[in-house]
């Protein structure tokens, strides 16, 4: 059962007058409810910027996390409440504060995951580490490529994202090693692939099984992706660690157009 305080209830509603009155009467500006929500976290969650300003003026702890997890600026970025996030960052909120929990995240990464371009831009303007990653080694660029979010990919690359950053999971047994192009390819977004290649992505970069983006394209019959990669210099006779070539994979899958393309390229 969740128990709340009058101040928390006023914060959910964004009732600035009630919030001000309760604070004047001695309500605890950082008092948590039974879910670990502080008043500032609640207004950040709901997007009430005027209420957030009142709480900050009253001395609310700007980086106090919900039960050691989400920070106010983190939840504001995740939900796209850019005006609240702007206020918090302008008042000194930590832009790279790690949001602990089952999957450690940072504001830029959660904004990327939720495709909130405005929040992403805001974090970068306030000095966020563009290559920050979660415990699986996933960066904002990986996420943007995977989601097919071209504008987000461009924004991150413009701000120095590593285009060939390989996922480095904390789990040594993970099979998730990949680069941004591979994510883009699996989403079949040729615009993102083209953009990453223009920014210097290694067209022949392979994962730990020896699989390249072209190999994956041939295996899955994506002729448009295969043509783009070959035009950009992908190795036509590349094989995986088991010795299976791209042509073999295309033929095995019955992908005639891809096989013909490979043969035409030598």
Distance of CA 181 to the CA centre of its chain: 15
User: Bigger pLDDT: 3 or 228?
Assistant: 228
At 229, the pLDDT band (50, 70, 90 cuts) reads very high
With residue 40 as reference, give the H or E element that holds it.
Answer: helix 39-46
Q: How far is it, in rounded angstroms, from Cα 189 to Cα 186?
A: 8
With residue 144 as reference, give the H or E element that holds it.
Answer: helix 140-147
* CATH architecture, domain 1-129: Alpha Horseshoe (1.25)
CA distances (Å), origin 247, targets 109, 173, 184, 257: 37, 29, 22, 11
Instruction: Give tens-digit pLDDT for 71-124.
Output: 899 999 999 999 999 999 999 999 987 655 545 568 899 899 899 999 999 999
Burial label for 111, CB within 10 Å (0-12, 13-18, 19+), is buried
Homologous superfamily in CATH for domain 203-266 = Ankyrin repeat-containing domain (1.25.40.20)
pLDDT on residue 172? 46
Distance of CA 89 to the CA centre of its chain: 19
Quick one: DSSP state of residue 171?
A: S
Instruction: Give tens-digit pLDDT for 181-207.
Output: 565 666 678 999 999 999 999 999 888
pLDDT at 170 over 60: no
Instruction: Give tens-digit pLDDT for 38-76.
Output: 999 999 999 999 999 999 999 999 998 876 578 899 999
CA distances (Å), origin 107, targets 47, 75, 152, 256: 15, 8, 15, 45
| 131-143: average pLDDT | 86
DSSP per residue over 14-78, as a string? T-HHHHHHHHHTT--TT---TTS--HHHHHHHHT-HHHHHHHHHTT--TT--GGGS--HHHHHHH
Burial label for 59, CB within 10 Å (0-12, 13-18, 19+), is exposed
Residues of the chain with CATH 1.25.40.20: 1-129, 203-266
* Minimum mean pLDDT range among 4-8, 13-17, 95-99, 175-179: 175-179
> Backbone phi, then psi, for 239, in 5-degree steps?
-120, 155
Instruction: Give tens-digit pLDDT for 160-169.
Output: 999 988 776 5
User: Bigger pLDDT: 145 or 100?
Assistant: 145
Burial label for 87, CB within 10 Å (0-12, 13-18, 19+), is buried
At 176, the pLDDT band (50, 70, 90 cuts) reads very low
Average per-residue pLDDT for the chain: 88
> Backbone phi, then psi, for 71, in 5-degree steps?
-95, 160
């Amino acid at each position: 059962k969740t128990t709340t305080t009058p101040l928390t209830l006023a914060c959910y509603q964004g009732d600035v007058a009630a919030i001000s009155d309760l604070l004047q009467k001695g309500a605890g500006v950082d008092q948590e409810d039974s879910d670990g929500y502080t008043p500032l976290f609640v207004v950040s969650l709901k997007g009430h910027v005027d209420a957030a300003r009142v709480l900050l003026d009253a001395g609310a702890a700007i980086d106090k996390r919900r039960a050691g997890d989400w920070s106010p600026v983190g939840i504001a970025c995740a939900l796209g409440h850019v005006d609240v996030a702007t206020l918090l960052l302008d008042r000194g909120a930590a832009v790279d504060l790690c949001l602990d929990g089952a999957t450690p995240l940072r504001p830029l990464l959660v904004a990327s995951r939720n495709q909130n371009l405005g929040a992403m831009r805001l974090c970068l303007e306030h000095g966020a580490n563009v290559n920050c990653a979660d415990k699986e080694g996933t960066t904002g660029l990986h996420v943007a490529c995977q989601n097919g979010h071209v504008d987000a990919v461009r924004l991150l690359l413009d701000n120095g994202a590593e285009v060939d950053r390989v996922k480095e999971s904390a789990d040594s047994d993970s099979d998730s090693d990949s680069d941004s192009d591979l994510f883009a390819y699996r989403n079949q977004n040729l615009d993102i692939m083209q953009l990453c290649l223009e920014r210097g992505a290694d067209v022949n970069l392979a994962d730990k099984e020896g699989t390249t983006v072209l190999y994956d394209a041939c295996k899955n019959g994506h002729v448009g992706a295969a043509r783009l990669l070959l035009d950009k210099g992908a190795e036509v006779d590349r094989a995986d660690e088991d010795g299976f070539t791209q042509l073999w994979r295309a033929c095995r899958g019955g992908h005639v157009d891809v096989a013909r393309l490979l043969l035409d390229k030598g």
